[in-house]
Chains A and B, each alone.
Chain A
């Protein structure tokens, strides 16, 4: 209920509800008959359909925008693979791990003293991804 009875907008609103009461009480057949003679009724129906289509598009666009924003945000996180690993740093990290004799990392199974630069970088990257190396370690 609109509170201020003296406001003509509120009065029109009450009148609109009365008119809607009749619209909803008029049978489908009668209303279609009326629409056959009154072009504005057909236009009102089309306007409602367009409003629905526009709403579908607007909601779809909003969802797409949200998905894009989420994707952008995810992409802006630094990927592990993107972190540059220097071959010398990789060898240094491996040497430290050998010195620490960390059996949990099963490094002893490998001949780590003779790994190539590429293998050293790959190994450090894998260890980093597995969480075996502290995230804050500087390459």
Chain B
């Protein structure tokens, strides 16, 4: 049963709209760019992913917790939908049967891939290789550690860099990927 307390913990659709109407320019940039990057190498586009998330929030199907900045909530919802999308695009049918997805697979019905899975995998592989080729040693190590799912602190310890160096390495990687995507 949904208690009044729980209802108060999430934004109403009107409150969500209100928060978006006052979203800063930088946050719109963050949302747009992170949507593009989450769709990197995939057969879907950032604008479609973002629109889907906005639709779900406006329909009240996904609710933004009050404790979360609205831009962080939208990014989290995009991440979650991309995870569901990737799971739904697996080639191995056995994998699909043994892995239950947290999100409803119908959530991504509106995301229409433009190419088939094998082509998509090839495209992703090429994109990843192009990125790796542009990275310097520390940058490559940070990326490798991230792919191994290390936490930011573990990455810093493994690569042997300070938090400040880690932050500038991330910035350098982001700018390189941005240049490649142009």
Contact = CB atoms under 8 A, between A and B. Distances in A.
Nearest to A28: B26
Nearest to A42: B29
Interface in A16-71: 16-26, 28, 31-32, 35, 38, 40-52, 54-56, 58-59, 62
B78 to A, nearest CB: 9
Contact of B32 (A12, A24, A44, A56): A44
A16 B83 contact: no
A55 B125 contact: no
Contacts of A55: 50-52, 54-55, 58
B55 A46 contact: no
Interface in B2-24: 20, 24
A72 to B, nearest CB: 22
A9 interface: yes
A19 B32 contact: no
A50 B47 contact: yes
Interface in B74-130: 75, 79, 82-83, 86-87, 89-90, 95, 99, 120-121, 124-125, 127-128
Contacts of A96: none
Nearest to A24: B30
Contacts of A20: 30, 34, 37-38, 75
The 5 closest A-B pairs by CB, nearest first: A44-B32, A55-B54, A48-B32, A51-B50, A8-B124
Interface of B: 20, 24-38, 40-42, 46-48, 50-52, 54-55, 58-59, 71-72, 75, 79, 82-83, 86-87, 89-90, 95, 99, 120-121, 124-125, 127-128, 131, 142-143, 146-147, 149, 152, 167, 170-171, 173-174, 177-178, 181-182
